[in-house]
Amino acid sequence: MTESSLEDVDLVLKTMAQTIVDNAVYFAQLDSIVGDGDFGYSLRSGFEVVLSDWDSLDRTNPGTLLKKVGIIMSGKVGGVSGPIWGTAFLRAGATAGEKTSLTGEDVVAMLRAAMAGIMQRGGAALGDKTLLDALSPATDSLEMSLTDVTATSDHGVEAVQRMADVATKAAEETKSMLALRGRAAYTGERSIGSVDAGATAIGVILQAISAAWREKYDKARSQA
């Protein structure tokens, strides 16, 4: 998997932001089944600012951009989502440091740092029926793909698709879990039988990123 540039990070972040804005109602509906129903709307309020302020965000390097997004999330997103998502972006940005390009290994390290921040900030662990239950196996998938030539010889198109598919499957599997964090935890066994909104969002976001990534690099190969 070749190194990713700031342009690639832009693509990922803008795709993520637009996907969250576009799916805010869907995510909120999922959250309303056993939660308070504000998950999608809370995230949308932050990512709308990211999109509206996009041209003015500092792009000195990927790490700086990620930290700027983290600051927006922390300041503009209400409830528990703001601190959790803000911390995730800040930790990922700090791990990227001042590198101007990122290897696949760098991305894995950034995702693991983001997850550690989420765990620390929200007190969540794997199996608690949260976004971690989709993000963690997706990150494991990406790390495994880095050792597979067939998944890395196409600028990571196959690796990112595998990652998205793993996240989507893992999100569906949260249906059988008992919620142990957030408002859903107060519903006890009633939380069993519905997917976690955060985990589902991770799957939807990664599928959108995979489609955008494939479009960019399939086009690049066809023009080569």
More confident residue, 218 or 70: 70
Give the per-residue pLDDT at 194: 85
Q: pLDDT of 27-78, one tens digit each?
A: 999 988 766 678 899 999 999 999 999 999 999 999 999 999 999 999 999 8
Domain-by-domain residue ranges, the chain?
A: 6-223
More confident residue, 99 or 191: 99
Both structure tokens of 2? 């070749």
Angstrom distance (rounded) from CA 97 to CA 132:
23
Give the per-residue pLDDT at 192: 75
Q: What is the pTM of this model?
A: 0.91
Angstrom distance (rounded) from CA 216 to CA 156:
11
Give the per-residue pLDDT at 182: 56
Among 38-42, 148-152, 183-187, 208-212, top mean pLDDT goes to 208-212
Helical axes 132-145 vs 157-173, angle rounded to 10°: 150
Angstrom distance (rounded) from CA 37 to CA 127:
21
- Segment (H or E) for 6: helix 6-22
Share of the chain above pLDDT 70, in %: 88
- Per-residue pLDDT for 186 more than 70? no
Give the per-residue pLDDT at 1: 58
Q: 2 in helix, strand or coil?
A: coil
Give the per-residue pLDDT at 188: 46
Angstrom distance (rounded) from CA 149 to CA 181:
39
pLDDT band at 99 (very low <50, low <70, confident <90, very high): very high
- The mean pLDDT value for 177-199 works out to 66
Q: How far is CA 3 from CA 100, 102, 132, 143, in A?
A: 10, 5, 26, 14
Give the per-residue pLDDT at 106: 97
Give the per-residue pLDDT at 183: 53
| Neighbouring residues of 77: CB distance < 8 A, sequence distance ≥ 6 | 42, 43, 45, 46, 85, 86
Share of the chain above pLDDT 90, in %: 71
Does domain 6-223 fall into CATH 3.40.50.300? no
- The mean pLDDT value for 7-17 works out to 96
- Per-residue pLDDT for 178 more than 70? no
Which residue pairs, CB below 8 angstroms and at least 24 apart, start in 38-42?
A: 38/78, 38/79, 39/79, 39/81, 39/197, 39/198, 39/201, 40/197, 40/201, 42/77, 42/78, 42/79, 42/81, 42/82
Give the per-residue pLDDT at 220: 66
Give the per-residue pLDDT at 180: 54
